């Protein structure tokens, strides 16, 4: 090579090194360009050859008749992963089951509450019909109330059926004995008929009930209005 060619060759080698090429790669490329071994040795003195990669480690053969036990750390990691998978499934299933149970329980409670409210309404309806039956009786008997001790027999023709004489929750109804045989005119003169109790609830033995409907009881008044009243403390 002439002096100019040597300068170009050195510049070429320097450019390849700046680009990150190893000397062994540069040597191979130089030989492919037609340079001789002697020229390459002059351009790349003391080059470092790239060592071949070490062969992959081969697993040691398992002795016959012996079980290979994983190290404690590896075994703990494997068990932890398995536990996470197992608990992951449980975390998904258990809340769903609990949700179904809660929904079912709420449905049962809702049905019971609805049934109780229906019985409360049926009791009020019974007392309403009985009050109207008493007023019909008064129209046919010179505006006089029936007798308090036999008002059921005297008003049977004024109600639709026998079921109205009994509360759906048990027990029955009693008439205010202060109104027994009195005329409506007298009741209106001596008090307010809209605030005068006509019927109240009693048990099957005649004892008065104050908390048969959610801490209270139903009452009917002379004017045939019916209300629920909370038990007095």
Of the two residues 24 and 156, the one the predictor is more confident about is 156
Residues 202-216: tens digit of each pLDDT: 998 889 888 888 888
b/e map of 38-71 (b: 16 or more CB within 10 Å)?
ebbeebbeeeeeeeeeeeeeeeeeeeeeeeeeee
- Over residues 94-133, the pLDDT tens digits come to 776 677 676 666 565 555 557 778 888 899 999 999 999 9
pLDDT at position 9, please? 75
| 128 vs 23: CA distance, rounded Å | 111
What pLDDT, on the 0 to 100 scale, is given for residue 88?
59
What's the pLDDT at 30?
75
- Find how far residue 197's CA is from the centre of its chain: 46
The domain locations on the chain are 3-43, 123-230
| pLDDT given at position 79 | 59
- The pLDDT score that the predictor gives to residue 26 is 75
CA distances from 123 to 51, 133, 223 (A): 101, 15, 17
Cβ atoms of residues 212 and 201 within 8 Å: yes
- Residues sharing a CB contact under 8 Å with residue 124, sequence separation 6 or more, in sequence order: 218, 226, 228
Question: Which range is least confidently modeled, 3-7, 35-39, 49-53, 210-214?
Answer: 49-53
Number of Cα atoms under 13 Å in the Cβ half of residue 73: 0
**pLDDT tens digits for range 45-75:** 654 444 455 666 666 655 555 555 555 655 5
**Mean pLDDT, all residues of the chain:** 78
| 219-230 pLDDT tens trace | 999 999 999 998
Q: Phi/psi zone of residue 67: left (φ > 0), alpha (ψ -120 to 50 degrees), beta?
A: beta
CA-closest candidate to residue 30, choices 52, 46, 6, 51: 6
Q: What is the pLDDT of residue 132?
A: 94
Backbone angles phi, psi at 208, to 5 degrees: -70, 140
Position 46 scores a pLDDT of 54
Q: Mind listing the pLDDT tens digit for each residue in 168-186? A: 888 899 999 999 999 999 9
* Model confidence at 195: pLDDT above 80: yes
Residues 57, 53: Cα–Cα separation, whole Å: 12
pLDDT of residue 48: 42
Distances from the Cα of 180 to the Cα of 45, 152, 183, 206, angstroms: 135, 12, 9, 17
CA-closest candidate to residue 116, choices 167, 69, 68, 80? 167
């Amino acid at each position: 090579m002439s002096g100019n060619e040597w300068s170009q060759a050195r510049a070429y080698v320097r450019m390849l090194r700046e680009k990150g090429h190893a000397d062994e790669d540069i040597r191979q490329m130089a030989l492919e360009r037609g340079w001789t071994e002697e020229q390459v040795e002059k351009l790349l003195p003391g080059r470092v050859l790239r060592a071949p990669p070490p062969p992959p480690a081969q697993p040691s053969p398992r002795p016959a008749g012996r079980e290979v036990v994983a190290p404690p750390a590896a075994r703990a990691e494997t068990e932890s992963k398995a536990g996470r998978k197992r608990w992951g499934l449980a975390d998904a299933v258990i809340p769903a089951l609990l949700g179904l149970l809660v929904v079912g329980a709420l449905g049962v409670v809702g049905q019971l509450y609805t049934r109780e409210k229906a019985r409360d309404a049926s009791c009020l309806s019974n007392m309403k019909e009985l009050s109207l039956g008493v007023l019909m009786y008064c129209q046919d008997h010179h505006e006089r109330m029936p007798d308090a001790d036999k008002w059921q027999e005297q008003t049977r023709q004024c109600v639709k059926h026998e079921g109205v004489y009994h509360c759906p929750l048990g027990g029955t109804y009693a008439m205010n004995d202060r109104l027994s045989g009195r005329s409506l005119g007298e009741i209106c003169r001596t008090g307010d008929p809209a605030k005068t109790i006509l019927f109240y609830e009693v048990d099957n033995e005649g004892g008065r009930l104050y908390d048969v409907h959610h801490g209270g009881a139903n009452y009917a008044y002379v004017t045939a209005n019916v209300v629920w009243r909370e038990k007095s403390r």
